[in-house]
Amino acid sequence: MEKMLLGVDLGGTTTKLALITTYGEMISKWEIPTDKSENGKFITLNIAKAVDAKLEELNEPKSKVLGIGMGAPGPVNFSNGSIYEAVNLGWKDYPLKDLLEVEISLPAVIENDANMAALGEMWKGAGEGAKDIVCVTLGTGVGGGIIHNGQIVHGTSGAAGEIGHMTVVTDGGVSCNCGKVGCLETVASATGIVRLASEALATGDNSSLLQQRIEAGDPLSSKLLFQCAKSGDPLSKTVVNRVGNYLGLALSHIGNVMNPEKIVIGGGVSHAGEILLEPVRQAFETYAFKRVRKSTKIHLATLGNDAGVIGAAWLIKNRLNP
């Protein structure tokens, strides 16, 4: 009887789930809304119900599922699978692993969601074949996962990989949600990119393509900025180059410290593709140590929204069969 792995990527709005073979092949994937009411007390129950319903739909017994891996937003106590803090869900010192195992009657392993995405890219994505990779996710915020010799780097308090909170703007930076000023997240997340674009529009050429698109009714977004940059709009290209410089600077610091084989850039912002990757690589070449420049390569992620569930499946597989 072929066994299955259950991967879960817990988000603040939706929760992605997938049944995956032990070889990393997708059997079925789906998502459910994340119920944040009453400080998220129904999340584990809803996941258990969704899994039971899917197995019934597929006419598969739960005995075929080896276990459940879950990526959660926030730092994780990897010794017991509890969540130190997940602000968007109202959790603090939350015993997620214990509660999930009670509800679903399967062994569970919990990790930070960015770490899970890094594992997914290592197993089946842009990092395939590498055992030393760093994954940076550019979305509403900026996250990161560090894999060394095939193992997640947690740090003393589970906060390793907080790449989004590296300081890259030392003069005139803006406040970050973390309480610091000038974090990478303030200039390389989707939100930060929109802010930089707004500042450029306020002081730049009103005849720019970006301004014209906004006046025509398109809402300002990082996606629109990249579209205009690809069309050759000078103002948009200037903003994109600024973002790329900040990100390349941060990645050079990571490269100089870790010297990974691959740095993988994922998340919604990464869909911009080469228009973003080109200035990132240029900045990395400028700031990184020579041996790092030659040995560490920067790639775009290839798994998209599946990275988290695939990484979660890999982790439960390897925790059960180390």
Where are the chain's structural domains? Answer: 4-121+305-320, 130-302
pLDDT of residue 270: 94
Q: pTM of the prediction?
A: 0.87
Alpha carbon distance 70, 243 (integer Å): 31
Residue linked to tokens 């290839």: 302
Query: Rounded to an integer, what distance in angstroms lies between the CA atom of residue 225 and that of residue 157?
Result: 37
Same fold, 4-121+305-320 and 130-302: yes
pLDDT (0 to 100) of residue 84: 87
Q: Are strands 142-148 and 151-152 parallel, antiparallel or unpaired?
A: antiparallel
Task: Please tell me the predicted confidence (pLDDT) of residue 1.
Answer: 56
pLDDT for 234: 95
Q: Which two tokens stand for residue 56?
A: 């019934």
Find how far residue 91's CA is from the centre of its chain. Answer: 20
Question: What integer pLDDT is reported at residue 90 of this predicted model?
Answer: 83
Contact of 279 with 237, CB cutoff 8 Å: no
Residue 105's alpha-carbon distances to 41, 79, 110, in angstroms, are 17, 20, 15
At 157 the pLDDT is 81
pLDDT value of position 65: 96
- Which positions of the chain have pLDDT values less than 70? 1, 322
- What architecture is the 130-302 domain classified under in CATH? 2-Layer Sandwich (3.30)
What is the pLDDT, as a whole number, of residue 322? 57
CATH 3.30.420.40 for domain 4-121+305-320: yes
Output phi, psi for 158, to 5 deg: 80, 10
